[in-house]
Amino acid sequence: MTVRPILTAPDPRLQAVSTDVETVTDEIRTLVDDMADSMYAADGIGLAAIQIGVASRVLVIDLDQKEGKKNPIGYINPKIIWASEETAVFEEGCLSVPEIWDDVERPARIKCEYLDRDGKKQTLEADGLLATCLQHEMDHLNGVLFIDHLSRLKKSMAVRKLTKAKKLKETA
């Protein structure tokens, strides 16, 4: 498959709201495979299609990646259908927000529906890191970055750091 470049903030394309996938086709399955390869190349555990410039409601997650195993799961048109009132805080990072990490509070447990790579409807209950990762990646599908959940001061510091890093990269 193909490793595609990952967009980084403050790229305005990351703010796009992704559209539903009408039908799961070979093209969508190739997109999922390319996303997994791109995620592995960047040493990540999750990636949304918009992060590689494709505004489709597709994401891929592989929590086993950190143990050196590959078990990517594609989620097409994922929707949260239930979220717990109980919350959990995880330190989050993002391939589109390099070198920035901060605590984000989200529902501790969720239930979501999605289509798998064969176009079959699936339901999943998740907690812990998987619940956090799913919510983080689904935020991308709505044009939201994890830094959007931070205080205005922390977000502005992160954006300044990212803008400065991008300018340095462009002049190098």
With beta carbons less than 8 A apart as the criterion, state whether 105 and 78 touch: no
**DSSP assigned state of 52:** G
Q: How far is CA 8 from CA 98, 101, 147, 168, in A?
A: 7, 14, 12, 14
How many other β-carbons are positioned within 10 Å of the β-carbon of residue 29? Answer: 15
State yes or no: is 137 an active-site residue: yes
Beta strands in the chain (DSSP E): 46-48, 58-61, 73-83, 87-94, 97-107, 109-115, 121-127
- Of the candidates 105, 125, 137, 170, the residue annotated as catalytic is 137
Q: Which helix (H) or strand (E) holds 157?
A: helix 152-171
Whole-number CA gyration radius for the chain: 16
The catalytic site residues sit at 137
